[in-house]
Amino acid sequence: MKFAKKVVDIARKDGLIGKNAKLEKNICVLCKGSKMLCGRSKCPILIKLNFHSKYKLLDKTELNGSSPPSVFIGRIGYPNVYIGPMIPPEVGDTSIIDTPERWFGKSIEEIADFRIKLVRGMYKTNIRDRNKIIELTREIALSKKPVDSEMTLSKKPKRSVIMSDEVQPFGASAPLKDLSIDNSYWDRKMEKCYYDTDLKAKEAVNFLYKKNVPVSSIQKAFSTGSFGIEKNRKLVPTRWSITAVDDMLGKEIMEKVKRFPVINEYRVYESVFLDNRFEILMIPQAWSYESMETWYPGTLWNQSPTNFVLYSDSETYKGRTTYAKIGGCYYSARLAVLELLEKEKRQATVIVLREAHPGYIMPVGVWHVRENVRNAMRSKPLKFDTLEEALLRVAERLEIPINFWIENSDLLRESFTQKKLTHWI
C-alpha cells in the first residue's frame, strides 16, 4: 500500500525503526510457556527466569500470615487438581499483594518482590469434591479483607517461582497438610451470590461487576466454585477462570454497545507500562474488534536478536466462537475498551496494538494488559478526520513498521479496501 510505505519511510527517516527489520513467526508468542507447543515438558525460558530469581526461602513447615486474600487452583491433571491458599509470612494488611488493579505504575521489580513472598499450599482434590481444605480455601477467596491463616506443610517449600503470561507470579510451593483460618469478612455481595444456589454463574459474575467488585476478586471466587446452580458448582483452574470472567463480562457489555450510535471521528488512545506500548485505534464503524501484539527482538517470548514476531486475533460484529490464539490478553483488552464504549454509549471498530519491548523481562499475567488499556481509556483521545492521519500518529509511537501491522490486520485491511455506501452517493 502506498500509504503504508509513506508511513514506514517517515519512521525510518526519524530513526524509529531499522532498515533491515523483518517479521517472523514464533510459536513462543502463541505458547507463552503454557501450551508446550515446542514439544518440551517444561518451558526453557521460564526455567531460565526461575533459575535467576532471588528470594529468601521459607525454611520451615509451619507458616502463619495474612492471605491477601489469595488462592490458586491448578490445571495439571484436571479434573484432579492441586488447590490451596497462598500466604505470605507477614501479618497485617497484605491486600496489595493480590490486587492487580492497584499495581499500575509499579515497576516490574516491585511487583516481583511482593508476589514471590506468597507461599502456595498444594492439596490434591477432585474439582467436585467437598472437604475442609476446599471450604477454607473458598472462605479465603470470598473474603473482602486479608485473612489470618496458618498452614502446616508436609515438607519445606520447594524453591521456585511460578510464572505465566496469564497468571500473576508467585513464590514457593509445598504439599498442604492442614489449614486453619481466623474469622474471614466476606464481601456481602459475594455472600449473596454464594448462597443463591439458583443463580447461574454468568449472572453472578455480571451482578458483582455491576456492583463494582474488582474483576480480580470475582475471578478468585469464580475459581473456587462459589457461583452457579448448586449441582453444577465445581473448582475452576485459576488460569481458566481469569479468561472466563473477562470473556463473560465482555460479551455482556458488547450486546449493549452494539445498540449505541457509532462514534463520528477516528480516535487514538495511548498507554505505556512495564515497557509495553499500547496504541488503541477506534474507527467510526459498527462494532468489531482486533487485538494485535508484536514482540520486539530480545523480548521475553522472542529470543531472536534481530527479527520481531507479530500475531493477531479478531472478531466481527457477530463475535467469535473459537478461543483466541493469543490467549487471555485478547479478552482482557476487549473488556477494557468495551467499558469505555458503554460509558460513552457509543460503538466503534476497535484495534488494540501492543508492542512488547525488552524491558518486559518476566511475565506478570494478563491483568497488565487490562490495566494498560484501561489507563489508555482514561486519557483524552487524539482525534482525527481520516484513518491515514490516525495511523501516522500510531506510526510515530510504535517502533515496528506500520506496514507490518496493516498487512497482518484483518480490520485495517478491510477499512482500507471496503467501499462505504456514501462513496456511491
Instruction: Respond yes or no on whether the N-terminal peptide bond of residue 79 is cis (omega within 30° of 0).
Output: yes
Q: Do both 218 and 151 map to the same domain?
A: no
Position 316 scores a pLDDT of 95
* Sheet hosting strand 119-126, strand order edge to edge: 62-67, 147-153, 173-181, 119-126, 80-87, 71-73
Q: Do both 236 and 105 map to the same domain?
A: no
Q: Do both 291 and 313 map to the same domain?
A: yes
Q: Where residue 106 sits, what CATH number does that domain have?
A: 2.40.50
User: Domain for residue 402, yes or no?
Assistant: yes
Instruction: Respond yes or no on whether the N-terminal peptide bond of residue 68 is cis (omega within 30° of 0).
Output: no
Q: Do both 197 and 123 map to the same domain?
A: no
Q: Do both 282 and 407 map to the same domain?
A: yes
User: Domain for residue 39, yes or no?
Assistant: no
Which residue in this structure is represented by grid cell 466454585? 225
Q: Do both 208 and 90 map to the same domain?
A: no
User: Domain for residue 205, yes or no?
Assistant: yes
User: Domain for residue 41, yes or no?
Assistant: no
Nearest CA to 349 among 412, 397, 403, 293? 412
260-281 mean pLDDT: 97
The better pLDDT of the pair 34, 17 is held by 34
User: Domain for residue 38, yes or no?
Assistant: no
- For residue 214, pLDDT beyond 50: yes
Give the domain-ending residue among 208, 228, 251: 251
Q: Tell me, what amino acid is at 75?
A: R
Q: Return phi, psi of residue 81, to 5°.
A: -130, 165
Give the domain-ending residue among 251, 282, 301: 251
378-389 mean pLDDT: 96
Confidence of residue 57 (pLDDT cuts 50, 70, 90): low
- For residue 423, pLDDT beyond 60: no
Alpha helices in 152-291 (DSSP H): 188-195, 201-210, 215-223, 238-257
User: Domain for residue 423, yes or no?
Assistant: no
Number of structural domains, the chain? 3
Considering only 33-47, 99-113, 114-128, 244-258, which range has the smallest mean pLDDT? 33-47
- For residue 16, pLDDT beyond 50: no
25-54 mean pLDDT: 56
Q: Do both 209 and 271 map to the same domain?
A: no
User: Domain for residue 47, yes or no?
Assistant: no
Q: Do both 275 and 358 map to the same domain?
A: yes
Q: Do both 400 and 295 map to the same domain?
A: yes
Q: Do both 363 and 265 map to the same domain?
A: yes
As beta bridge partners, residue 351 has: 281, 290
Q: Do both 121 and 69 map to the same domain?
A: yes
What confidence tens digit (pLDDT) does each residue in 76-121 have? 999 999 999 999 999 999 999 999 999 999 988 888 888 888 999 9
Q: Do both 79 and 205 map to the same domain?
A: no
Position 413 scores a pLDDT of 87
Confidence of residue 10 (pLDDT cuts 50, 70, 90): very low
- For residue 4, pLDDT beyond 50: no
What confidence tens digit (pLDDT) does each residue in 353-363 have? 999 998 888 88
Following CA atoms 330, 336, 339, 345 in sequence, which dihedral angle do they give, to the nearest 10 degrees?
Answer: -80
143-172 mean pLDDT: 84
Give the domain-ending residue among 219, 251, 283: 251
275-293 mean pLDDT: 97
Domain residue limits at 239 = 188-251
User: Domain for residue 74, yes or no?
Assistant: yes
- What's the chain's average pLDDT? 87
